[in-house]
Structure 1
Amino acid sequence: MSCLRVIVFALLLVCPVAMGEAAAEPPAPAAPAIPGLPALPIPTDGGSTLPDLQRWIDGVIPPPPIAAGPQVPDPMQEAATLPPALAALRQASAPSAIGDPIFDAWPANLDDYAPGELVEVRDVSATAVPLVLVPIRQALLLKYRTTDSRGAASYATATLIIPATVWPGPGSRPVVVNNLPIDALGRACTPGYTLAHGWSPNTSITDFLPPTTQLATLRGYAVLVPDHEGPWMAYAEPYVAGHAVLDAIRAVRGLRPDEFGDSRFGMTGYSGGAIATNGAVKLIESYAPELAGSIVGAALGGVPADYEILGRSMNGNLASGVFLAATFGVGRERPEILASMNNLAQWAATSPLKDLCGSVFGAVGVLMLPIDIAAKIPDPLHSEVATEIYDVTRMAGMRSAAPLYIYNGEQEFWIPAEGARNLYREQCDLGVSAVYRSVPGEHIIAGALGYPEAMIWLDQRLQGMPANNEC
C-alpha cells in the first residue's frame, strides 16, 4: 500500500473515533486494521483515546522522506539553532515557488535595506484594470523590505491602486489600506498575484466582496492592498502581518513622497484581514512611530484577537480545516508548532496541501477533525507550546496608536464576540479612542451588516473628522 493510501486510510479510520462515536459496550481489543500493523485504539469507559490514537498514527504512518531541494532563505537562521530534522521539516513545509521572481526571489543584501524601503516596482495596470472594474490611473506592485516575527529582515509585496480622477479635497490624496482576509497557504492565493497575473481559480471572492477597493477608488482615495502573510505565507501570524502592513505604508510614502508623503492612511480588515489590522495598529508605536500621525483610524470586524478562544470554537467542527491551516501558518514562523506535529501532519505539511488557498482547505472542515490527530503530544491545545503561542499572538497590553472601530457578530459561533469585546475593553483601558458595535448574525451575515457603518466611520477619519470615543 502506498504512503498516500495509508494516509487516506488512516483518516477514514480516525474520523469516527475523533468525532466521538463509541460502541454501546466496551469492546474487546480490535484486530489489526492492516495485517502486521498496530490495532486501531477503540474508545472505552476509561476516558479519551486520543493519545493512544496519536501513537497509533505514528505507528502506522512513517515520517515523510524529506529530500534535499532548493533552500528557502532563513532570515531567522533557524537551521543553526533547530535540530536538523526540524530544520529540514521547516524548509520542506515552506510555500512553493510560483514562477514570478517578485513573489519568489529573496532579495540580495536585504539587511542593507531599511524597513519599508522599496526593492522593486512593477506596473500591473494592464492586468489590474479589468479586475478593479472602476477607472484607475495606475496599479503598481511593490516589493519592499519588512521584518518577520523574530525581528529579522524579510520582504513583502503590496499593490497600490491610484484613481483616474484628481483628488478633489484639500491636502494630499488619502489612502485606504485594504487588509483582505487572504486566509491562504500558497503564494498564488494572494491578491497581489491576482492583480499582477489576472483572475485564476486561486482568486478569492473576498478580494472583491465587499467592494472596498472599488468604493474607495470612486471616492477618490488611493487603495493599498498588502500581501500581509509574507514570503513564508505565515497565515494568521500577527507580527508578520502587522510589519508587512506598516512597511507597505512606508513603501508608498517613499515611492511618491510628493503625492503620498502627507496623506492620511486608514485601515480596514475583516476576519483574516482583522488579524493584520490588529497586528499593525498594535505595532505602530514600537515599530513605525513616525506613522502614528498619518494612520488616522482602523476599522476591524470579525476579529480573531485571541487564539485560545478560537481553539474552543473552531476545533473539531466545520471550521476545523481553517483552524488547522492557521495553526500550520503560524508554525511556519514559529517552528515549535512544527515540532509538535505527528507523521500524518508532516506528510500534509510537505505535500501540495501546503500551497492550498482558503476556499479549498476550508472544505476540509466537513471531516470535523480535531487538532489532536495532527499532534504527537497529548491535549495539544492545553500544552506549554499552545500557551506560549496564545500569549505571543494575543499581543496583550500593546496599545493601538490609531483610533479603532471594532465590530463583531453577536451570534458568531466560530469567531466569538468575546475576543472582540475583550480587545475593545483592553484598548479603552490603555487610553485608545475606540468604538464597539455588536452586529446581529454569524460571521457572514455580521460582515455584511456591520460593513456600511464601519466604512462611514473610516471615511470620516480620512476626511479629517476627529474620532468619537465611546470608551
Structure 2
Amino acid sequence: MTGQAVAEPLPTPPAPAVPDVSGMLPPPGGLLPGLQQFIDRIIPPPPITPVPEPISPTQQAATLSPSLAALRKATLPAPIGDPMFDAWPANLGELTEGQVIDYRDVSATTAPLMLMPIQRALLLKYRTADAHGAPSYATATLIVPTAAWPAPGPRPVVVNNLPIDALGRTCTPGYTLAHGANSDTSFTDFVPPTTHAAALRGYAVLIPDHEGPSMAYAEPVVAGHAVLDAIRAVRGLLPGEFGASRFGMAGYSGGAIATHGAVKLISSYAPELAEVIVGAALGGVPADYEILARSMNGNLASAVFMGAVFGIGRERPEILARMNNLAQWAATSRLKDLCGSSFGAVGVLMLPIDIAANIPDPLHSDLATDIYRVTRMADMKSATPLYIYNGEQEFWIPAEGARNLYREQCRLGVSAVYRSVLGEHIIAAALGYPEAMLWLDDRLRGVPAPSEC
C-alpha cells in the first residue's frame, strides 16, 4: 500500500431544488372537474318543456322535482307509432303483474325470420312493474313451432333473454318480429341461434323485450320483472297449453343482465314460478357494475358504458340529476333512440364518463356506490339452478364478476355450475354456448340439476 494515493470520497452533490407545483396539481377526483365547470359555463341547459302532470304510473310513483321530472320525460324514448309498444293503458294500476293487456298474431312477419315452419307467433303486451315497483308494461313474443312436442307432458318453453343493448324501442326483438327485419335489427337477435335451435328441438320460445317502455338498458330490476311477468303472461293467456310447462332461461351479456335480475327476483316477486322455472344459463355476466366502471370507462367500451348509465338513469333519475348541460343535450336529442350498434361506435373517442357529469369523480361518488349496491342485488338467492360461464380473458366484462356471483349463490345454497371459458367476450360466447345449451336442455327435459359448489 506504500506509495499509492488513497482516493478521497467524492462529495455528495446538493439535492436539486423541488419546484412548487401545488398550483398545477389536479383537483381531488381527477383532471376533469375544471372541464366539467367549463362545459356548463359555455353550454346552456337544453330547453325542456315543464311537465304539467304525470305522464305515466312510473312518474306518479316517483318523487321528483318539477325540473327533474321534465328532464326525465325529455330523455324517454320517442314513440314509434305502434300502440303495442307506445301506449300506456289507462287502467294499468288495476291489473295484476303478468296480466295480458293485449296480444297480436305476428306469425306473418316472424315466420320468414325463423327460416322454418311455425305454428304461430304472438306478440304479448302485459302488466309488469318498474324498478321501484310501480305499474308498468312490457312486451314479449311467444313462438310455437309446428312440430308437436315429442316427449311426454306439455311443451317446455325456452325464455331467450336477448342482449337488447339499446335505447330506442325499434331496437327490440319484439319490434323486429312484429314488423320484419329493418336497419335497427340486431345481429345478436339471431346469433347465437338460440331461438332457432330451441324451436328445432320442439320447444316454444319466449323472447321478452326486457327493457320495458322506458328502454331502461342495463337496469336489472326492470328486466327481471319483465322476464318473470312474460312467463306469467304466457301461462295466464294459454293455461291449457303452457300452464304446466317447464320454463328455462338463457342469456348472454346484456341478456345475462335480465337473467341475473330475474332469477334473484323469483322468490320475492313471483314465488309461484319457483317450481316452474327449472334452470337458467347465463354467460358474459355483467353482475357487478363497480367492476365494469373500472373495465369499461374511458376506452373503446366507454360509449356502451355511458349508454348503460343513461338507461339506468331513466328508471333512477338521481343519475340524470348529475348530468351536466352537455350530457342533457345529448340525452334529450335523437341519441336517446339509438341502438347499441350505433352508439357503441362512439367508443372510438374513448371518452370517460366524467365528461358527462356535473360532479367530480362520479364513479366513486356516493350516488355511484348506491347504484352499484342496488344493481348488484347482493345476497338475493336464485330460486332456480344456475349455469354460469365467462371468458377468462375478458377485459370489458371481467370474469371476476361471474365468479363472485357463482360463489355467492353457492354460499346461499343454490345448485350451480361455473365454467371458465377461453377467450374474451366474443370468443367466449361461441366456446361457452354449446355446453350451456346442453345443460339447459337437460333441465327442460326433467333431469335434476347437478351442483359443483
TM-score normalised by length of structure 1: 0.90
CA distance in 2, matches of 1:291, 1:260: 13
| Matched positions, count | 431
Post-superposition offset of 1:133: 1.1
CA distance in 1, matches of 2:59, 2:217: 20
Is the Cα contact below 8 Å between 1:79 and 1:87 reproduced in 2? no
Post-superposition offset of 1:397: 0.7
Is the Cα contact below 8 Å between 1:190 and 1:203 reproduced in 2? yes
From 238, 251, 256, give the equivalent of 2:238.
256
One-letter code aligned to 1:300: L
CA distance in 1, matches of 2:410, 2:45: 48
Post-superposition offset of 1:45: 4.4
Structure 1 segment 307-456 matched on structure 2, within 5 A: 307-456=289-438
Relative to structure 1, the CA distance from residue 217 to residue 253 in structure 2 (aligned partners, 3 Å threshold; closer, same or farther) is: same
CA distance in 2, matches of 1:385, 1:418: 23
1:216 corresponding residue in structure 2: 198
CA distance in 1, matches of 2:31, 2:208: 44
Identity %: 76
From 198, 205, 210, give the equivalent of 1:228.
210
Post-superposition offset of 1:80: 6.8
Relative to structure 1, the CA distance from residue 170 to residue 401 in structure 2 (aligned partners, 3 Å threshold; closer, same or farther) is: same
CA distance in 2, matches of 1:451, 1:321: 26
Is the Cα contact below 8 Å between 1:188 and 1:194 reproduced in 2? yes
Pairing 1:156–2:109 present: no
SS at match of 2:278: strand
Superposed CA deviations along residues 99-139 of structure 1, whole A, max 9, x for unmatched, are 00000000121111110000001000000001111221100
CA distance in 2, matches of 1:71, 1:407: 46
One-letter code aligned to 1:183: D
Relative to structure 1, the CA distance from residue 441 to residue 78 in structure 2 (aligned partners, 3 Å threshold; closer, same or farther) is: same
1:298 corresponding residue in structure 2: 280
Structure 1 segment 233-244 matched on structure 2, within 5 A: 233-244=215-226
SS at match of 2:57: coil
SS at match of 1:76: helix
CA distance in 2, matches of 1:272, 1:153: 24
One-letter code aligned to 1:133: L
1:57 corresponding residue in structure 2: 39
CA distance in 2, matches of 1:233, 1:46: 37
1:22 corresponding residue in structure 2: none
Post-superposition offset of 1:68: 5.4
TM-score normalised by length of structure 2: 0.93
Is the Cα contact below 8 Å between 1:71 and 1:91 reproduced in 2? no
Pairing 1:184–2:166 present: yes
CA distance in 2, matches of 1:224, 1:295: 13
1:89 corresponding residue in structure 2: 71
CA distance in 1, matches of 2:176, 2:285: 25
SS at match of 1:183: coil
Is the Cα contact below 8 Å between 1:102 and 1:143 reproduced in 2? yes
CA distance in 2, matches of 1:203, 1:80: 33
2:250 corresponding residue in structure 1: 268
CA distance in 1, matches of 2:418, 2:392: 12
2:16 corresponding residue in structure 1: none
Structure 1 segment 41-56 matched on structure 2, within 5 A: 44-46=24-26, 48-56=30-38
Superposed CA deviations along residues 301-348 of structure 1, whole A, max 9, x for unmatched, are 000000000000000000000000000000000000000000000000
| Structure 2 unaligned blocks of 5 or more | 1-18
Relative to structure 1, the CA distance from residue 138 to residue 376 in structure 2 (aligned partners, 3 Å threshold; closer, same or farther) is: same
Relative to structure 1, the CA distance from residue 109 to residue 219 in structure 2 (aligned partners, 3 Å threshold; closer, same or farther) is: same
Greater CA radius of gyration, 1 or 2?
2
CA distance in 2, matches of 1:236, 1:200: 23
SS at match of 2:137: strand
Is the Cα contact below 8 Å between 2:228 and 2:262 reproduced in 1? yes
Relative to structure 1, the CA distance from residue 393 to residue 46 in structure 2 (aligned partners, 3 Å threshold; closer, same or farther) is: closer
One-letter code aligned to 1:413: F
The root-mean-square deviation of aligned C-alpha atoms, in Å, is 1.6
2:14 corresponding residue in structure 1: none
